[in-house]
């Protein structure tokens, strides 16, 4: 069936089909580096209300697309909507980060966790997806997302961001069965949530495993990768006759890329710690690769940014299967002009790699 998208470069690259230039989007592309985002957040009152108000979530999703020729939109929301819907009470505290009023501290807490109904309890997310699809009107695809069970569990047990992950690691080594119970509950909730996003109109999915890299290799396999695999097995991989590509992104996964590529995902998201060309030669064409410029390079200037884009494109080499992105989210201190220079450099410099 022919694609209804006006720009389907992102989906094609994920499926390793030919493209005219390398598609690009940025993790956290809707965010505080944009003055218009800060103005909308002000209007909402606070971050959680912004996420929960579909009109405003739609507005901030579209803001970066009005400025830049991005090849995909990403739903504006947060990975912590699921634990919030399980009753943990999410707040975002300025210059501290996310906090839960009721973190998990015992096996009894885990056993009492409800299973959120995506349309009932997270209907505001599905409403935002439907509204964004309507507003995009087929211009570019919409990415839906969720956190990995491991990454969500870190916030649920630590109660917020953490430096050493002391509480969850104590549970992992001392009470592994309790942690498995939590992870399988969260994995089920994530699968249902992502399937609801797909039914509402999300055209690709990314799973963010921000904290998988703090685990040992065996612990990563047992407590993070296994649950992402469970989600992949439970996801609806087609909707309305179109494939729904899935990207797995684990930050700090340099040693595990082959294992991630073997889960059945369509693409692996890379942080900036490894060279994309080396990863490509190691894993071949099993999956597409997404990444992987160090977001800190956006602090420099358009010339430095352009050179770095050129060297990543050269490292990946000829052909499709590459979605350009940063190796992690864009930070609030970035000059929007530099983000524009990054996106334009990808489009201009990548054409020569797609001539066949």
Task: Summarize as ranges the residues that interact with ligand CP3 (CB under 6 A).
Answer: 27-32, 41, 47, 74, 76, 78-80, 92, 97-98, 145, 161, 208, 210, 329
CB 260 within 8 A of CB 252: no
Which residue minimizes CB distance to ligand CP3? 210
- Tell me the two tokens of residue 236: 């609806």
Is 286 marked active-site? no
Please report the DSSP string for 163-222 in residue order.
SS-HHHHHHHHH-HHHHHHHHHHHHHHHHHHHHHHHHHT--EEEEEETTGGGS-HHHIII
Pairing state between β 267-269 and 204-209: unpaired
- Tell me the two tokens of residue 202: 């999300």
Among residues 297, 208, 310, the alpha carbon closest in space to that of 249 is found at 208
- Cβ distance to ligand CP3 smaller for residue 44 or 313: 44
Q: Out of 8, 9, 16, 28, which one is annotated catalytic?
A: 28
Q: Rg of the Cα trace of the chain?
A: 19
Among residues 242, 71, 72, the alpha carbon closest in space to that of 142 is found at 72
- Tell me the two tokens of residue 282: 């190691």
Is 237 marked active-site? no
- Cβ distance to ligand CP3 smaller for residue 78 or 175: 78
Is 233 marked active-site? no
Please report the DSSP string for 231-282 in residue order.
HHHHS--EETTEE--EEEEETT-GGGHHHHHTTT-SEEE--TTS-HHHHHHH
Instruction: Tell me how far, at minimum, the Cβ of 64 lies from ligand CP3, in Å.
Output: 7
- Cβ distance to ligand CP3 smaller for residue 84 or 320: 84
Instruction: Tell me how far, at minimum, the Cβ of 33 lies from ligand CP3, in Å.
Output: 9
Tokens 């020729």 -> residue: 69
Is 41 marked active-site? yes
For the chain, how long is the longest CA-to-CA vector? 59
- Cβ distance to ligand CP3 smaller for residue 65 or 276: 65
Is 32 marked active-site? yes
Instruction: Tell me how far, at minimum, the Cβ of 355 lies from ligand CP3, in Å.
Output: 32
Pairing state between β 267-269 and 288-293: parallel
Q: What are phi and psi of 146, to 5 degrees?
A: -155, 165
Pairing state between β 242-243 and 238-239: antiparallel
Instruction: Give the residue numbers annotated as catalytic, written as ranges.
Output: 28, 32, 41, 78, 155
């Amino acid at each position: 069936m022919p694609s209804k998208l006006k720009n389907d470069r992102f989906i094609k690259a994920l499926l390793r089909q030919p493209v005219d230039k390398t598609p690009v989007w940025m993790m956290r592309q809707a965010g505080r580096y944009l003055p218009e985002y800060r103005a909308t957040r002000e209007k909402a009152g606070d971050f959680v209300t912004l996420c929960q108000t579909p009109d405003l979530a739609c507005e901030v999703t579209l803001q970066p697309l009005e400025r830049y020729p991005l090849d995909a939109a990403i739903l504006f929301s947060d990975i912590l909507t699921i634990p919030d819907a399980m009753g943990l009470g999410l707040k975002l505290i300025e210059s501290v980060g996310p906090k839960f009023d009721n973190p998990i501290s015992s096996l009894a807490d885990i056993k009492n966790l409800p299973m959120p109904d995506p349309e009932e309890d997270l209907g505001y997310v599905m409403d935002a997806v439907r509204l964004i699809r309507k507003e995009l009107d087929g211009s570019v695809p919409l990415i839906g997302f969720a956190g990995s069970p491991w990454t969500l569990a870190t916030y649920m047990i630590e109660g917020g961001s953490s430096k050493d992950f002391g509480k969850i690691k104590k549970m992992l080594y001392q009470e592994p069965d309790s942690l498995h119970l939590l992870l399988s509950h969260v994995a089920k909730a994530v699968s249902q949530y992502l399937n609801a996003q797909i039914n509402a109109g999300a055209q690709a999915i990314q799973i963010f495993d921000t904290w998988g890299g703090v685990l040992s290799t065996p612990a990563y396999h047992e407590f993070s990768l296994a649950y992402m695999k469970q989600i992949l097995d439970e996801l609806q991989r087609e909707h309305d006759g179109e494939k729904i590509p899935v990207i797995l992104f684990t930050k700090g996964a340099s040693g595990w890329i082959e294992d991630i590529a073997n889960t059945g995902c369509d693409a692996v998201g890379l942080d900036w710690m490894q060279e994309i060309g080396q990863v490509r030669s190691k894993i071949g064409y099993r999956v597409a690769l997404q990444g992987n410029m160090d977001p800190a390079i956006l602090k420099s200037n358009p010339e430095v940014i352009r050179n770095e884009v050129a060297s990543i494109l050269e490292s990946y080499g000829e052909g499709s299967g590459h979605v350009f992105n940063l190796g992690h989210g864009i930070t609030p201190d970035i000059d929007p002009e530099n983000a524009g220079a990054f996106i334009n450099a990808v489009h201009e410099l990548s054409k020569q790699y797609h001539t066949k």
